Structures are given as structure tokens and as C-alpha cells.
Amino acid sequence: MSNTITETNFNFPGQKSLYKGKVRAVYNINDEELVMVATDRLSAFDVVMPKGIPYKGQILNQIATKMMEATQDLVPNWLTATPDPNVAVGHLCEPFKVEMVIRGYMSGHAAREYRAGKRMLCGVPMPEGMKENDKFPEPIITPATKAEMGDHDEDISREDILAKGIVSEADYVVLEDYTRKLFQRGSEIAASRGLILVDTKYEFGKTKDGQIVLIDEIHTPDSSRYFYAEGYEERQAKGEAQKQLSKEFVRQWLISNGFQGLEGQTVPEMTDEYVESVSERYIELYENITGETFVKADVSNIDARIEANVLAYLK
């Protein structure tokens, strides 16, 4: 088993605060920039798994970096540097309290709602007569907001976002426009790799000078669902499951082992063999999504490597 990084407690010069998310640790430097470390933690059903996945942090960070670079002509983003395979540095932003989820196909949460008889998702109508994984006539934006209690995201409509003053109408128009542009570009990139970008989420923030920018990650297997384009039509016609490139395989393994993050359930044992297989799947995801061979970083002492690289950058 390779070494992994699941916890970070660096103390960088000018460090004001440290925020620990489910997967990333975010260091505020002098209230000017953020140093975001992508760890090897794996989260599913809002629960962090007990073991890290080798190279996962590097994979997520490098996919997000490549996708930010491939979309910066369309939408400004927070990123300024990547001093280490697991680290992104960028402008300090005030995040919007909504996630912009966009769906080109009726999969995942949308399909579950549809099966339950709902034909409206976040105030957006879904056509009658669709089956799971069918393409929507037009991509739909179904925003989510962080619940006050716990980590579960909650569906919310555009009307509610504006009515509750979560985002101003002027800003929300920009968020919708950016979301559609990013999804269009992401779909084109995916198609060039023989993939379908099914659905994804984007997060945005405002810089100190009031510019709206893309933040966090983009088009990674943790924030997006991909299908293989080859055989998609045939599988749909036969009512077969689609071949996916996403974190869904982890969720399915957990479900088959009796875990869905519900009270009283315990995470099944993750053997070294299973952890290794998840790492291999993430490498496959990286190579399919980017079209490049994955180059493993030196993991003999990840903490020391990250610290040295970030310190050198901050100097």
C-alpha cells in the first residue's frame, strides 16, 4: 500500500485560519490567498471513509487544475498556482451559499425523484415519459444549498434563492450564465475523450474587488458523473445500466454492503485490496477524463513534500 495523506496540520507563514472540509483542507494566508490541500480522504453519503485512497488527492487536484485552465477563457476562476501535485493556491473569495448543479441527463438524484413520481426538481419541470439516464431536451439547473444542520445538501429553487436573499438576482443571473457555459465546454471536452458529461456541480465566490469567480473543483469524478459514450444508445434502448466514470462505484459497493450513511449503520471493512482497487479506478478516471497518462507523485513523505513546496511558493 502506498502512503496516503488524510489529515493536515501545517502552520504556514501568515496563516490566519484552517478550514477542514470532507476532502480538502483550506489555509487562509494573510486574508489574501487560500492554500487548498486535496487529501486522499474518500467521502460517500456525507461520511468520510476510514482509509485514504492512494493518489486520490493528486488526481482530484490535477483534474480540477486542467479543467480550470481549459475554461478560463469563458469564466474567471480563483486559481493562481499549483505548487504541489496535491495543492492549489488562489484568491481569497467569499463563497456563494449555493451549489450550481446542472444536469444534462436524468440520472442519480433526479432519477430517484422521478421514480418517486415527482415531475418538478428545484422548481424546474421534468418531461413526462422519460426513463433513467435519458437526455433532457435542454440541461436543467437544480441548485442545492447547505443545510443549517449537518452536511447534507438540500434542493432549492431559483425563486427561493432570490426570495430568501441567499443570492441577489443580478449575481444569480451571472451564476446561471457561467454554469451553462462551463457545462457546455465540459461536455465538449468529455465528448472529445469518448465520454458524456452527465451532470456536475459548480461553486462560485466573490473576490475582494467584487468579481464572481469559479472556485473549488470542476469536472472531477467527485463532483461530476460521466458515462462512456460508446454503447450509450444501445444500453438505453435495452434498459441496461450505463457504464459510468464517477464515484458511483464506491456508493454501489457501500449499498451492497448495507451502508447508506443512515443512523445505526457502520461502514463496511475496507481491505487493502479494495482500497488499492479504488485507487486504480481513480487513476483510470484521471486518464479517461484528461486524455493523459497519470504520473504518480513521490509519496515517500507526502507531508514533508507538500510543506516544502508550499513554503517555497509563499517565499
Beta-strand ranges (E) seen in the chain are 15-20, 24-29, 33-38, 43-44, 47-48, 79-84, 87-91, 94-95, 98-105, 120-121, 124-125, 135-141, 144-146, 153-155, 195-206, 212-215, 224-228, 244-245
DSSP 221: T
For residue 16, tell me if it sits in a domain: no
* Position 148 pLDDT exceeds 80: no
Domain encompassing residue 145: 95-245
Does some domain include residue 123?
yes
Distances (CA, A) of 188 to 7, 263, 278: 36, 41, 27
The predicted-structure confidence for 6-34, as pLDDT tens digits, reads as follows: 999 999 999 999 999 889 999 999 999 99
Residue 233 has pLDDT above 90, yes or no: yes
Question: Between β-strands 120-121 and 24-29, what pairing exists: parallel, antiparallel or unpaired?
Answer: unpaired
Residue 252: band (very low, low, confident or very high) from pLDDT cuts 50, 70, 90: confident
Per-residue pLDDT of 180-218, as tens digits, reads 999 999 999 999 999 999 999 999 999 999 999 999 899
Residue 29 in domain: no
Q: What is the DSSP letter of 3?
A: -
> Model confidence at 147, in pLDDT bands (50, 70, 90)?
low
Q: Residue 213: inside a domain, yes or no? A: yes
DSSP conformation class of 77 = B
Phi, psi of 216 (to 5 degrees): 65, -130
Place of cell 460521466: 226
pLDDT grade, residue 243 (50/70/90)? confident
In a domain, 256, yes or no: no
Q: How many domains does the chain have?
A: 1
The Cα–Cα gap between 170 and 4 comes to 43
- Residue 315, in any domain of the structure: no
End-to-end, the C-alpha distance of the chain in Å comes to 34
Question: Residues of the chain with pLDDT > 70: what percent?
Answer: 97
Q: What is the pLDDT of residues 25-74, one digit of tens each?
A: 999 999 999 999 999 999 888 888 999 999 999 999 999 999 999 999 99
CA 211 to chain centroid:
22
Residue 125: predicted pLDDT: 97
Is residue 73 domain-resident? no
Confidence at residue 274, expressed as pLDDT on a 0 to 100 scale: 92
The verdict on pTM exceeding 0.75 is yes
Phi and psi at residue 224, to the nearest 5°: -140, 160
Q: What is the pLDDT of residue 301?
A: 94
Is residue 273 domain-resident?
no
Beta-bridge mates of residue 48 = 43
pLDDT category, 152, cuts 50, 70, 90? low
Whole-angstrom distance, CA of residue 62 vs CA of residue 38: 10
**CATH number of the domain where residue 241 is located:** 3.30.470.20
Model confidence at 149, in pLDDT bands (50, 70, 90)?
very low
**What is d(CA 197, CA 215) in angstroms, rounded to the nearest whole number?**
19
